[in-house]
A = this chain, B = another copy of it.
Amino acid sequence: MRKGEATRQRIITEAAPIFNQRGFDGCSMQDLMQATGLEKGGLYRHFANKEELASEAFRFALAQNVKVRTEHLDEIPNSINKLKKVVQLFVDLPSAIPGGCPLMNTAIDADDGNEALRDLARKGIQDWRARLTRIIEAGIKANEIRRSTDPRRIANTLIATLEGALMISRLENSRNALRDAQTTLDTLLTSLERHS
């Protein structure tokens, strides 16, 4: 890695928690300079503007989360158990980057008009739903999940319930909402089992 590329990557890594915690508008140049130890000129030698840095920071934060939440999933053969593991990993490891889920933070933060960040969050939700849908479809094909199951509905419900529960748990500084979501989603997933 060239030195410039290494510095760029270090800035992204150090900026990611700041953007995730404070949002695009809430993250000041002062915050970024403090986190990276660089002056404004040093920062913007590597990024065209704040939006480009925020976009890279979001991509990094999301990739870290996807990584910790999908590791070893392939080792679980049964699709229902795999989905239960997805729920458990979300409940146990709510975010790899301080500040909660970058998807929800960016979705809420960018909904007044930062289109670049909004597109990235939209793509993040689409990709997550596609990963879950693939597991459900494979489960239907393998006769593990009832044929009447609507993969998109189950995928949307899993994402919505986990994200909403994370919001409540963070606000209340209590794991109750995440634990309650896990219990409900485990029951939902068990109800999808095909008994042949």
Contact = CB atoms under 8 A, between A and B. Distances in A.
A114 to B, nearest CB: 10
Interface string A158-193: 011111110110111000110011011000100000
Given A100-B111, A161-B161, A167-B163, A172 B125 contact: yes
Number of copies: 2
A145 to B, nearest CB: 15
Contact of A165 (B23, B160, B177, B180): B160
Interface in A65-114: 99-100, 104-105, 107-109, 111-112
Contacts of A107: 167-168, 170-171
A21 B125 CA distance: 21
Interface of A: 21-23, 25-26, 99-100, 104-105, 107-109, 111-112, 118, 121-122, 125, 150, 152-154, 156-157, 159-165, 167-168, 170-172, 176-177, 180-181, 183-184, 188
Q: Considering the complex of A and B, which 6 residue pairs feature the smallest CB-CB distances, nearest first?
A: A160-B164, A164-B164, A163-B164, A160-B165, A25-B26, A156-B180
24 contacts: A21-B112, A23-B26, A23-B109, A25-B25, A25-B26, A26-B26, A99-B112, A100-B111, A104-B108, A108-B167, A109-B109, A118-B171, A121-B171, A125-B168, A152-B176, A152-B180, A153-B183, A156-B176, A156-B180, A160-B161, A160-B165, A160-B167, A161-B161, A184-B188
